[in-house]
Chain A
Amino acid sequence: MHLAADPWVWVAAILTLFIFTFLYKDNPLYKFAEHLLVGVSAGYYLAIYWHNGVKPNIIDHLGQGQLIYLIPLILGLMFFTIFIPKTSYMIRWPIAFLLGAGSGLSIPATFQANIAEQIKGTMLQPLSFYYSNAALINAIILFVGVLTVLTYFFFSKEHKGALYTTARIGIIFLMIGFGASFGYTVMARVSLLIGRLQFLLGNWLGIIPSW
């Protein structure tokens, strides 16, 4: 057993244990770690926003005399009108711009990635039969799954008759998918816990080899 000599390892280990105490119940140690994390991260992200956002995207360009960047600067500053009751209505302008531009930018990209590419990938083709029987079965499962899940998300018709059957098959497909995803993600979370325990037992207490 070789206890860590680095004081920051001790700080990290103690804060990890403070957070773990929440598993028992809410307590002052957890509150301390929580408030520290929130405060430090809020300050950290403020610096990140400045150095990765405001400075390279606005200040540097304005410094080079590119006055077009005054437009995003003014739109950005309008967010601060929230603090002045008389002008607080102006905050709606940048919000409207953000929502409008955001939707405009995302619609073609969403159509391309989430609709066109998915449909293309789901369509059966001679190549589906080419490699192996397993590939063929996969292609058919995918095809049937996509069609039946689509019918589950029909809102304007009551799920009755044939639509009921296809929607039921669709929800079964969804639940099988969610089950597989659940198991996979739980494994990823367990590996996060293992990583933390390795830090405590290895880097901090030196009971196991550190990595």
Chain B
Amino acid sequence: MGVALILFLLSQVSPTFNLRAVDTPNDAGGSITLTWEIPEGLEHIDRLEIYRSESPEGPFEKIKTYLSPVTRFEDMGLKNGKDYFYKVVITSGGETIESEIAGPVISRPQWFHKGRVTILFGVLIYTLILLYFILSAKKGKELYLRPIAGLKALDEAIGRATEMGKPILYVPGLSTISDVATIASINILSHVTRKIAEYETKIIVPNRNPVVYTVTREVVKEAFTSAGRPDLFDPDSVFYVTDSQFGYAAAVSGIMIREKTATNLFLGMFWAESLILAETGASTGAIQIAGTDAVTQLPFFITACDYTLIGEELYAASAYLSKEPVLRATLKGQDAMKFLLGLLLILGSAFGLFGITWFQKLF
């Protein structure tokens, strides 16, 4: 290998790396991307090291070592607006070859992610569609929505708990407040609580996330107030349990058994605890309605619950339950968007099959 390297060095006095260092595009800054080529004739490398310095004279600090001939590296965690210099050093058969120094290069954040222009257009089109349907609803246009079995059963389930004189358990999922499923669940909680205030039933809302707890507490309090029964709000009925997934599952299972809840509502984001909760609830004979967008947990809810809201049915629930024209209009907008996406799918496939690829590249 040493002989090969000497021959290589003789044949090429200055091996070309074509080292390029550029500010990583479409990012929030703090990153520089390096690309280079492995010099021609070099068949094997023992080690490839990347060095960085704040001055072309050095000192250069080793920031990464590879044992394979990679040709790209993204240096992250850098300070924005500062000059950086780089070089690559390859060790082969005990000999070292140094690249030219690349730089100065400065890392900067970008205001726009150029790769997401299609997304921007998508969001704008969706917003326009939504606005159209909302304005139509405001003008008094009748908007039809097909019935969803799980939502029709919600009032019945609350009524059943009232007749039995037993509480209703509402589990708002185990995710954070920024999860769409959690937000959808909180909207449903508001409707459920208003019904509960009407029927004077008890509700239990155990929470896994502290922030979700504060929101659900406020929602329940507000719903009792808006239903004209602030006196029925029990601050102890909405509480934080623990962040531990299975600790939470153990506690909620215990609540179902001890409080003998007549109705269990599992609406939101769930993980592996879904079957534990749904099975325990089923063993108590409670009527159970579940809803989640977690594809892997839906089968468990479908098998162990009386009704299950699948994916988008959960998101649609608040619009259904509130019967507010504006909210119903958003569902119409979503349907129009789904139709448009289906159309794009068919068009893209047709173009693709005829070898026209620009359309698919838009996504």
| A contact set with B: CB distance below 8 Å | 19, 22, 25-26, 30-31, 33-34, 37-42, 44-45, 48, 79, 82, 91-92, 95, 98-99, 101-103, 105-108, 110-112, 115-117, 119-120, 122-126, 143, 146-147, 150-151, 153-159, 174, 177-179, 181-182, 185, 189
Q: In the complex, which residue of chain B has the Cβ closest to the Cβ of A125?
A: B352
Residues of A within 8 A of B353 (CB): 124-126
Which residues from chain A contact B296 at a C-beta distance below 8 Å? 181, 185
Q: With CB as the reference atom, state the residue of chain A lying closest to B302.
A: A178
The 7 residue pairs across chains A and B that have the minimum distance between CB atoms: A102-B178, A41-B244, A125-B352, A182-B299, A45-B243, A124-B349, A120-B363
Inter-chain contact total with CB atoms closer than 8 Å: 169
Looking at chain A's contact residues, the main secondary structure is helix
Contact stretch, chosen from B9-17, B25-33, B80-88, B246-254: B246-254
Interface size in chain B (residues, C-beta < 8 A):
68
The 15 listed contacts between A and B (C-beta, < 8 Å) are: A37-B250, A38-B247, A48-B243, A91-B214, A111-B119, A116-B119, A119-B344, A123-B348, A123-B349, A124-B353, A125-B360, A147-B345, A155-B145, A155-B316, A181-B298
> How far in angstroms is the closest Cβ of chain B from A45?
4
Q: Which of B273-320 contact A (CB under 8 A)?
A: 275, 295-296, 298-300, 302-303, 310-313, 316
**Main SS of the interface on chain B?**
helix
Partner among B120, B250, B312 whose Cβ is within 8 Å of the Cβ of A38: B250
CA distance in complex: A105, B217 (Å): 25
Cβ distance B333 to chain A, nearest Cβ, rounded Å: 9
Contact flags (1/0) for B85-106 with A, using CB distance below 8 Å? Answer: 0000000000000000000000
Distance, CA A156 to CA B363, complexed state (A): 27
Chain A binder among B62-70, B71-79, B335-343? B335-343
Q: How far is the CB of B322 from chain A (nearest CB, A)?
A: 14
